[in-house]
Amino acid sequence: MDSKQLLQQNAALPPRRKRLQRFYLFLGISVFASVVYFSYANHQGHDETDTASAPYDFSQHKNGYHSKRLNQPNIVFILTDDQDIVLAGADHMPKTYEMVAQQGAVMENSFVASPLCCPSRSTILSGRFVHNHRAYNNSFIGGCSGTHWQNVVEKEALPVHLQSAGYKTFFAGKYLNQYGKRQSGGTSHVPPGWDTWNGLVGNSKYYNYTLSVDGISEVHGNDPDKDYLTKIIWERAKEFLETVTGGVTQKNEKNFVESPHKNENVVPPPFFIMMSTPSAHAPFDAEPQYMDNFADLKAKRTASFNIANDETKHWLLRLGEQPLSDDIIDKVDDIFRKRLRTLLTVDDMVGDIVSILEAKNLMDNTYVVFASDNGYHLGQFSMPLDKREPYEFDIRVPLMIRGPGIKKGVTLSYPTVNVDLLPTFLDWAGIAIPEYIDGISLKDILMET
């Protein structure tokens, strides 16, 4: 039978038979791809001889411009989880918009190197693309907090550079999806470079989770006042901020703080704070006071919303139910509202942290960066909800940056990728960007506005 006859025969099949045929084809390809992929990933993840070509010399950070502590800015980095920009995922955070976006720059063409949590976060922390940091997916065997990451990449990650240059570093929230699990070293493993560590074990949760607090397990329950993860991140960031600044106000005319000791001034260390919230990731648990917000909102009906049987699209996109049923669309709308509700606590957190920085007269020497690890889809091309796809809604994310030298209220169309964040932070800190870094600094682009 030639190819023409085969196509004619296939066209005559009943619709259900066609779907089954596509399904089994897809299943066969998936099984083959999985065998090849995981064989490779398993080899890479357990290669004990796998080391960097030459360990990076961090001692050089103690010399030169960056050693002039008065010139080293503080950096506050807020990272959300699965927060889109295409579907209006950042449109309902008034405090963040007012205190970060309007006081700085919005990068309207900000993209991620991977539309999946662990690969994207590994890119942010390492400044390397996925094929170089080798965290290919969210599994340990796929490189997430795996052997290569811990033995090579993590030792040269962002906090190690900053700490070696004199920064006090703080982390709270979701790190990598496999962090803290037994095969990844458990909660006793504290990634290098962090002075204060509050790392979530596993994937995003709002309640009933475990934190590694400087290597010690801390178990949380479901009390909204004591356990809601975004609030824990928020409170511990405030505690760190009070500690690192000595609990006093910095003078505007100098980068000195008033010492509690009479007739003595001390130079405060620069600090890097990373707050990595679970919002807006599943299971979409909002704080009690926000449970009823956005009751009338529906998911954004983009041009691709519930598009069915579009033969111009990849056949994988045509495997699911098409079009979506009314019940599924109602579920999509419900998830849209729940996601926005989780972000309201993040908005409160951003507003409070920036207010504290302003009250301490620190904003003249502090950069605030707000970003997400990947986007999301809700009904686009009849896909109900998730990320993972190489389409704009899954790879385009919010990026707002406020700080010294950045013009207020500007929107920049310059394309950026999350691999550019690490070199930008190093550039702000006056640290030479290593050759192995894949990204480029946005410092000059931001200053040119």
Q: Which residues are the active-site residues?
A: 117
What is the C-alpha separation between 215 and 219, in angstroms, rounded? 13
Residue 250 structure tokens:
């910095």
Beta bridge partners of 389: none
Cβ 339 vs Cβ 284: under 8 Å? yes
What is the C-alpha separation between 302 and 296, in angstroms, rounded? 18
Q: Using H for helix, E for strand and C for coil, what is the string for 35-99?
A: HHHHHHHHHHHCCCCCCCCCCCCHHHHHCCHHHCHHHCCEEEEEEECCCCCCCCCCCCCHHHHHH
Cβ 110 vs Cβ 373: under 8 Å? no
Q: Which of 230, 157, 231, 225 is nearest to 191 (CA)?
A: 157
Q: Which of 292, 373, 380 is nearest to 340 (CA)?
A: 292
Cβ 339 vs Cβ 89: under 8 Å? yes
Residues 6 or more apart whose Cβ sits within 8 Å of residue 167: 72, 269, 270, 271, 272, 429
What is the C-alpha separation between 360 and 245, in angstroms, rounded? 9
